[in-house]
Amino acid sequence: MSTLEAIYLIDIYGSVLLQIESRGRISPVTSEFIKSEISKCKLRNEEPPFIIYHMNYLIFQQLQDDVRICIPVTCDTEPLYIHDVMKLIIEIIKTYFGSFQSSVIEKNTSLIAQLLTEMIDYGYAINMEPNTLQDIIPTPSLMKKFMEVTGLQSNTPSIHKNTVPWRTSKANYTNNEFFVRIIERVFAVYEGNNQLAFGTLKVDVECKSQMSGIPELLLYLTPGSIMENAKFHNCIDVKRWKDRPLQLQFIPPEGKFILASFQANLSKQKPLPLNVEAKNMTDGNFEIRIRNTGKKPIENLEVRVPLPGSLSSVSTTHGDYIYRPSKSVNDEGAVLEWTIKKIEWTSPAYVLKGTLNTKQELSISDMSDGGFEKKAHPKLEHLTLHYKYPLTILSHFKVDSLKIVNRPDMKSFKGVKHSVIAQDVSVRFK
């Protein structure tokens, strides 16, 4: 784990919004070097690499919204560590100020600088838990409130000893509430005949906690709930879970957080509710056939078909379609988008048919390179799907109940919400 020599926040024009150096080993002109590297990449019309190489250091950089976050290091290091640090810095600035836009950062530099020095001391990542940071440096809105109510200078709250590291010490609510939402995201590739090629199901157990004091919660899962390859939030007692896999004990952080997530092989779960057949036919014709085979409606279906050339005709039985031509050379190319707001489970199959144009630049490519003339009828290869299938579950994971161990009288549990999202599902044309 190596030292983070500095942190730069740079806007897309290359001017520095904020810079903090941790050890004074890196000269301030580094920002100039980064700027020139980035403008070089811009000239070549490509996104700068995650790691920019300088002769005596490496610069990790990433663009988020319109701000580029750069961290130079001087020796070999774990790239994921830097990656995580960046992600967390972005996240924390977002929780404090609502967004990571350059305009927001420009306005709040002194507070962000305070936050960064609190998070990173002498190049070490020390504390990036949003809850505890808020104990040391109050969020702007809270600070304002203090001023207004007391009419005095707000005093920085003193930090408590031996509190739970991820929990704020001053949570206080009149209504104690705890929500659980289970989101199942599908990542899969299907063959054109609706056979699953491979896929995973990623399940996130999202919680929202608004509870006073330091509650100890115990979440019971229904028997048969399996969590494969589970990953837990810091707060979960993993040892206990190993002994009793149907109980999760934890002291929650405040606000929204992901309590646990796990992944399962999609082929072992309940099948997806959407049946898709995608076929290439002769002479550049193709057909996409979609049917809801579930028991509930499917919402916001979006089908994207990358096209090798232009289309000569398209027709659908339902929904809207739009053809987006490619804008530049580096673009992913032309795309056909087909959107349907809702498919009831009783509906018949929805069909999209179309014909591809044979390549126009045929004559040119014919002369320059003899190889392409046989590709007279271009074929489609993939389509991607994105849709929501609310109020259902595909996995065998179910929450039974939630108990507050140290305050059994409290009735805070507000129930569980489920939803399935087809996050990254693609179908290969037959």
Partner 1 sequence: MVPKIFQSSRQKAFKKSETSELQKGLVSQYAGERIDAVKRTIAAMTVGKDVSNLFPDVLKNLATRDVTLKKLVYLYLINYAKTHPDLCILAVNTFVKDSEEYNPTVRALAIRTMGCIRVTKIIDYLAHPLRKALKDDHPYVRKTAAVCVVKMFELDPEYCSSNGFISQLQALVTDPNPAVVTNAVRSLAEIHDCEPEKGYFNLVYTMTDRLIVALSECNEWGRITILSALSRLRTTDVKEAEFICERVIPQFQHANSGVVLAAVKVIMIHISLFSEEFRTLLYKKMAPPLLTLLSADPEIQYVALRNINLILQKQPDVFERGTRVFFCKYNDPLYIKLEKLKIITMLACEENINETLSELRTYASEVDLEFVKQTIKSLGDVALKVPSIINDCIAVFLEIFEVNISYMVQEVMVVMETILRQYPKKVQLLLPYLEKVLEELGDPRARASMAWILGEFCNSIGNSTQLLYEMVSSISQEDLQVQLALLTATVKLNLIMRNGESEALLKKIFSYATNVSSNQDLRDRAFMYQRLMTSKNLDTATSIVCSQKPTVEHDTKLPRLLLETLLSEMTTLASVYHKLPESFIGQGKFGADALQQRAVEELNVDEENNQTAIEKGANVENLLDLDFGGQGTATPTESTASPSISNNALDLFMSVESSAPSNQPPTAGHSRSATEDLLGL
Residues 246-305 that bind partner 1 (CB under 8 A): 258, 261, 263, 265
**Residues 214-233 close enough to bind partner 1 by CB under 8 A:** 228-233
Q: Which residues contact 366 (CB under 8 A, 6 or more apart)?
A: 372, 373
Q: Which two tokens stand for residue 336?
A: 């056909």
The footprint of partner 1 on residues 70-89 (CB under 8 A) is: 74-81, 83-84
As measured in angstroms, the least distance from the Cβ of 176 to partner 1 is 25
Q: Please say which residue, 307 or 343, places its beta carbon nearer to partner 1.
A: 307
Instruction: Give, for 86, the enclosing helix (H) or strand (E).
Output: helix 79-97
# residues near partner 1 by CB under 8 A: 98
Of the pair 44, 295, the CB lying nearest partner 1 is at 44
- Closest contact distance (angstroms) between CB of 27 and partner 1 is 10
Q: How far is the CB of 79 from partner 1 (least distance, A)?
A: 6
90 binds partner 1 (CB under 8 A): no
Q: Residue 117 interacts with partner 1 (CB under 8 A)? A: yes
How many whole angstroms separate alpha carbon 158 and alpha carbon 136?
7
Q: φ, ψ for residue 50 (rounded to 5)?
A: -60, -35
Token digits for 425?
A: 């599902």
CA distances from 108 to 98, 105, 154, 177, 333 (A): 12, 5, 18, 32, 40
Q: Which is nearer to partner 1, 230 or 416 (CB)?
A: 230
Site residues (CB under 8 A) for partner 1, limited to 149-208? 153-156, 158-159, 161-162, 165-166, 187, 189, 197-198, 200, 202
Would you list the DSSP string of 101-127?
-HHHHHHTHHHHHHHHHHHEETTEE--
What are 122's two structure tokens? 């002498």
**Contact in structure between 166 and 234 (CB atoms under 8 Å):** yes
Other CB atoms within a 10 A radius of the CB of residue 251 amount to 19
x-or-dash string of contact with partner 1, 8-47, rule CB under 8 A: ---x-xxxxxxxxx-xxx--x--x------------x-x-
- Contact map string, positions 359 to 398, toward partner 1, x by CB under 8 A: ----------xxxx-xx---x-xx-x--------------
Pairwise CA distance, residues 387 & 264, whole Å: 20
Cβ nearer to partner 1, comparing 154 with 300: 154
Query: Would you say 84 or 177 has its CB closer to partner 1?
Result: 84
Residues 6+ positions from 211 with CB-CB distance below 8 Å: 171, 173, 176, 177, 178, 252, 254, 410, 412
Query: Could you tell me the smallest distance in angstroms from the CB atom of residue 202 to partner 1?
Result: 6
Considering only residues 39, 98, 99, 126, which one is a binding residue for partner 1 as defined by CB under 8 A?
A: 126
Report, in Å, the least distance between residue 286 CB and partner 1.
Answer: 15
